[in-house]
Amino acid sequence: MHLPWSTFFQIIICLEITEDEYLDTRIALAQFRTLVESGFYLSLDGFGTEYSHLRNLQNLSFHQLKIDRTFVQDIATEGFKASMIPNIMELVHKFDYTCVAEGIETFEQGATLKTSGAH
């Protein structure tokens, strides 16, 4: 079926996947691969909180990494989580992902993240 507007616009549907122990299963790997092959983009939501596993970055077909708001809020105090942002951005570049940050509320937070390469 050809939709008349589809020749002018490219529609990208990005599914946010929250990282948990389910991602370590073969079933999840197969389901995500099927989604990607069907044209969906996958975003790993809340990276760095709760259940993070570097193997997921390598084995799963993500397109985007979403930095959790707790990392962003930590920028003002220059806390430990904020100090991890450059390392997270190295991973983003290594795996050729895009990066989005949640919860930007101040100019300082936005500038710091933009300098690091997050959107």
How much is the pLDDT for 34?
A: 92
The residue type found at 105 is: E
CATH code of 4-116, in short, is 3.20.20.450
Band (pLDDT 50/70/90 cuts) for residue 86 is: confident
Q: In angstroms, rounded to a whole number, what is the distance separating the alpha carbons of residues 63 and 71?
A: 20
- Domain boundaries in the chain? 4-116
Q: Quote the pTM value.
A: 0.75
How much is the pLDDT for 51?
A: 63
Cβ contact 27:63 at 8 Å: no
pLDDT tens-digit map of 105-119: 999 888 888 888 877
Q: In angstroms, rounded to a whole number, what is the distance separating the alpha carbons of residues 89 and 116?
A: 7
Cβ contact 114:89 at 8 Å: no
Q: In angstroms, rounded to a whole number, what is the distance separating the alpha carbons of residues 93 and 84?
A: 15
Cβ contact 52:70 at 8 Å: no
